[in-house]
Amino acid sequence: MTLKVTVAAVFLFLATIASSNAQVNYAERFRAAAAQYKVLMRRLPAERFPKTYFAVNDSLGTSDSGWWCSGFYPGTLLQLYRETKDPAILTEANRMLGLLAKEQYNTGTHDLGFMMYCSFGNALKIDPRPEYKQILINSAKSLAKRFDPKVGCIRSWNGKPGDFLVIIDNMMNLELLFWATKVTGDSSFYKIAVTHANTTMKNHFRPDHSSYHVLTYDEQTGAVKHKGTAQGYADESAWARGQAWGLYGYTVMYRETHDQKYLDQANHIASFILDNPNLPSDKILYWDYNAPNIPNALRDVSAAAITASALLELRKYNSGAIAQKYLSNAKAILKTLSSSPYLAPGGTNGGFILQHSVGHLPAKSEVDVPLTYADYYYMEALTRLKGVEIDH
CA angle 271, 72, 55 (to 5 degrees): 95
Instruction: Name the catalytic one among 86, 169, 288, 375.
Output: 169
Q: In whole angstroms, how far apart are CA 58 and each of 46, 61, 366, 390?
A: 18, 10, 14, 38
The answer to whether the annotation marks 68 as part of a ligand binding site is no
The answer to whether the annotation marks 186 as part of a ligand binding site is no
Q: 208 an active-site residue?
A: no
Q: Please measure the distance between the N-terminal and C-terminal CA atoms of the chain and give it in whole angstroms.
A: 38
Residue 159 CB-density burial (10 A; 0-12 exposed, 13-18 middle, 19+ buried):
middle
Q: 169 an active-site residue?
A: yes
Phi, psi of 366 (to 5 degrees): 55, 60
The answer to whether the annotation marks 42 as part of a ligand binding site is no
Residue type, 122: N
Instruction: Name the catalytic one among 58, 64, 86, 111.
Output: 111
The answer to whether the annotation marks 229 as part of a ligand binding site is yes
- Coil, strand or helix at 248: helix
The closest of 45, 197, 170 to 111, measured between CA atoms, is 170
The dihedral over CA atoms of 330, 331, 335, 341, expressed in degrees to the nearest 10, equals -10
Summarize the annotated binding site as residue ranges: 111, 169, 229, 241, 245
Q: Which residues are catalytic?
A: 111, 169
Summarize the annotated binding site for substrate as residue ranges: 111, 169, 229, 241, 245
